[in-house]
């Protein structure tokens, strides 16, 4: 077994598959080690819906233009400048060719989903979502002769000098090793390891929900960092959004998203508001609410809405809690009724003229003299029935990762590791220091997966 493979690819998501297909097309014998069982293969990639793609003129499902400069400016904005410009430009430029590369390997695209028209120019949507992308890639990889081992958890990469000498993994609870010529790490972040999250974040992390796969526990990342492989990013940096508090602990995915905040007031367990719910349009504020909720007692929030607003946002998977009076709603949500009424009345009294209300634009319908204010869409919560959603922090992925160069190669303080490359979430911190741009995760995985696969194949067969 040990000598049969030129390259071991660790992980079974978008980045791993992009690397494996590229290497196999170059003639390398490739083995994918995926820790998940087949039914759960594909990591977080199975939950995705689109990737962000630069283009000049209409391309596939994409309309108009999305230039390199605009793309870069969008990235710089969300990261507050914490972007490695050279790697970012590499990802952006290559994204242009990714669309047809993906199509050639079985991915199909569809027009933007209803409710996401704002992304029609920048993001190409996968028909059927990320799991159908992953399925197509596994089929293509199989045709290229790539072997896949499911339920194969990599536990250790033996670093000897400037080379990975051995890959240790368990398969069906038995230990195995192999010594391929080259290794590609594409095993995602560590967000599913709650203990690690807790070390980085403090005890609050115990109450976080993990939006994606339970299998991204950072085992390989930790192992490599322990051996002095260079890292990038901080352990407490993660992408976290506010999701429905009833979501499963892991793998709830897209359907637990809640878009109701701009039309609600959000209170904590003490029935007190804590942030401006109307600060900006929701897609731009989506990602800060994970942290806001994480800072509240017990890491929960409660969005309170009344009858006139309930149909203004995308439905989520769980129906809202519904009650005829605020007191009843408070009872059902475990809040003190008198305090909730007081908060709502204070808010209602601060609302002014609501005639300019416009659900999809910054309408300037704001409160006066309230702290914190609500600066848009501020309408009194007055019309029964009343509705409530509980909010919790949902972690999408972590940023701490492997530092790579423009050839996706990993390094120690002494210099590059001759036969180790990394792609996808596990190295995305090399490009973005913080913040996130929708659809960039799949772009990074595809671009750097392809680079890592090509480099590893070149190394295996010089």
Partner 1 sequence: MQTLDLIQEARRQAGICNACRYCEGYCSVFPSMHAGRAFSDGDIVQLANLCHNCRGCYYACQYTAPHEFDLNLPAALAEVRRDSWESFAWPQLLARRFHTHGGAVALVSVLGFALILWAIRGLGGNGDGFYATLSHTAMVAIFVPAFLLPSVSIGIGLRRYWRSVGGQRVRLSHLMTAFGKAVRMKDLAAGHGEGCNFEDEDRFSHARRYAHQAILYGFLLCFASTSAGTAMHYGFDLHAPYGFWSLPKLLGVPGGILLTIGCGWMAVLKRQSDPALGDVRAWGGEKAFVLLLGFAGLSGLLLYGLGQTPLMPALLALHLGAVLAFFLLTPFTKMAHGFYRSAALIRDAQRIDTADRKN
Ligand X SMILES: Cc1cc2nc3c(=O)[nH]c(=O)nc-3n(C[C@H](O)[C@H](O)[C@H](O)COP(=O)(O)OP(=O)(O)OC[C@H]3O[C@@H](n4cnc5c(N)ncnc54)[C@H](O)[C@@H]3O)c2cc1C
Q: Give the footprint of ligand X on this chain (CB under 6 A).
A: 10-16, 33-36, 42-45, 47-51, 153-154, 186-188, 211-213, 215-216, 219-220, 253-254, 396-397, 424-426, 439-442, 445
Prior bond to 209 cis, omega within 30?
Answer: no
Q: How far is the CB of 189 from ligand X (least distance, A)?
A: 7
Residue 297 interaction partner, one of ligand X, partner 1, none, beta carbon < 5-8 Å per kind: none
Q: Which stretch binds partner 1 (CB under 8 A): 17-25, 51-59, 120-128, 182-190?
A: 120-128
Q: How far apart are CA 297 and CA 38, in angstroms?
A: 39
248 binds partner 1 (CB under 8 A): yes
Q: Which is nearer to ligand X, 252 or 388 (CB)?
A: 252
Question: Among residues 128, 352, 385, 433, which is the contact residue for partner 1, using CB under 8 A?
Answer: 128
Nearest distance in Å: CB 298, partner 1: 23
Please tell me whether residue 254 binds partner 1 under the rule CB under 8 A: yes
Judged by beta carbon distances under 5 to 8 A according to partner kind, the member of ligand X, partner 1, none in contact with residue 80 is none
Taking the complex as a whole, the smallest distance from the CB of residue 394 to partner 1 amounts, in Å, to: 14
Applying CB under 8 A, which part among 72-80, 314-322, 413-421, 453-461 lies near partner 1? Answer: 314-322
Q: Which of residues 24-63 bind partner 1 (CB under 8 A)?
A: 39-40, 46-47, 49
Per CB under 8 A, the list member of 78, 101, 111, 150 interacting with partner 1 is 111
260 binds, among partner 1, ligand X, none (CB under 5 to 8 A by kind): none
Shortest Cβ 343–ligand X spacing (Å): 32
CA-CA distance, 147 to 83, in Å (whole number)?
36
Nearer to partner 1, 253 or 388 (CB): 253
Q: φ and ψ at 342, to 5 degrees?
A: -60, -45
**Minimum CB distance to ligand X smaller for 293 or for 344:** 293
**Residue 153 contacts which entry, partner 1, ligand X, none (Cβ below 5-8 A, type-dependent):** ligand X
Q: Is 105 in the site for partner 1 (CB under 8 A)?
A: no
Q: How far is the CB of 168 from partner 1 (least distance, A)?
A: 28
- Give min distance, CB of 21 to ligand X, in A: 13
With binding defined as CB under 8 A, does residue 207 bind partner 1?
A: no
Query: Which residue of 76, 200, 314, 337 would you call a contact of partner 1, by CB under 8 A?
Result: 314
Residues that bind partner 1 (CB under 8 A): 39-40, 46-47, 49, 108, 110-111, 113-115, 125-132, 135, 139, 248, 251, 253-255, 257, 311, 314-317, 319
């Amino acid at each position: 077994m040990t000598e049969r493979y030129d390259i071991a690819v660790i992980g079974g998501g978008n980045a791993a598959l992009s690397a494996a297909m590229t290497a196999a097309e170059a003639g390398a014998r490739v083995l994918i080690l995926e820790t998940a069982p087949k039914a759960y293969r594909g990591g977080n990639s199975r939950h995705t819906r689109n990737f962000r793609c630069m283009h000049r003129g209409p391309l596939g499902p994409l309309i108009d233009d999305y230039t390199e400069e605009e793309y870069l400016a969008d990235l710089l904005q969300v990261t507050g400048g914490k972007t490695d410009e050279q790697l970012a430009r590499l990802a952006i430029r290559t994204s242009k060719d990714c669309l047809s590369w993906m199509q050639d390997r079985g991915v199909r695209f569809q027009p933007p989903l209803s409710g996401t028209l704002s992304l029609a120019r920048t993001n190409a949507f996968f028909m059927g979502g990320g799991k159908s992308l992953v399925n197509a890639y596994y089929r293509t990889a199989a045709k290229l002769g790539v072997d896949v081992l499911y339920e194969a958890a990599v536990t250790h990469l033996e670093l000897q000098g400037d080379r990975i000498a051995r890959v240790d993994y368990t398969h069906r609870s038995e230990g195995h090793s192999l010594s391929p010529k080259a290794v590609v790490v594409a095993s995602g972040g560590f967000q599913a390891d709650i203990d690690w999250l807790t070390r980085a974040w403090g005890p609050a992390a115990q109450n976080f929900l993990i939006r994606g796969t339970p299998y991204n526990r950072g085992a390989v990342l930790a192992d490599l960092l322990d051996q002095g492989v260079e890292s990038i990013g901080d352990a407490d940096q993660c992408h976290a959004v506010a999701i429905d508090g009833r979501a499963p602990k892991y793998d709830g995915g897209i359907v637990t998203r809640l878009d109701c905040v701009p039309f609600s007031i959000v209170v904590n367990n003490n029935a007190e508001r804590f942030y401006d719910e109307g600060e900006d349009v929701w897609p731009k504020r989506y990602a800060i609410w994970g942290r806001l909720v994480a800072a509240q007692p017990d890491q929960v929030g409660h969005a309170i809405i009344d009858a006139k607003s309930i149909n203004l946002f995308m439905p989520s998977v769980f129906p809202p809690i519904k009650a005829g009076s605020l007191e009843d709603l408070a009872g059902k949500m475990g809040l003190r009724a008198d305090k909730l009424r007081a908060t709502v009345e204070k808010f209602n009294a601060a609302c002014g003229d609501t005639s300019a209300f416009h659900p999809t634009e910054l309408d300037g319908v704001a409160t006066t003299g309230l702290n914190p204010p609500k600066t848009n869409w501020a309408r009194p919560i007055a019309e029964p029935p009343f509705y409530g959603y509980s909010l919790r922090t949902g972690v999408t992925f972590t940023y701490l990762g492997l530092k790579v160069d423009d050839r996706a190669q990993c390094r120690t303080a002494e210099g590059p590791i001759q036969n180790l490359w990394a792609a996808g979430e596990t190295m995305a911190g090399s490009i973005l220091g913080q913040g996130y741009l929708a659809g960039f995760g799949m772009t990074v995985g595809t671009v750097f997966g392809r680079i890592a696969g090509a480099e590893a194949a070149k190394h295996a067969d010089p």
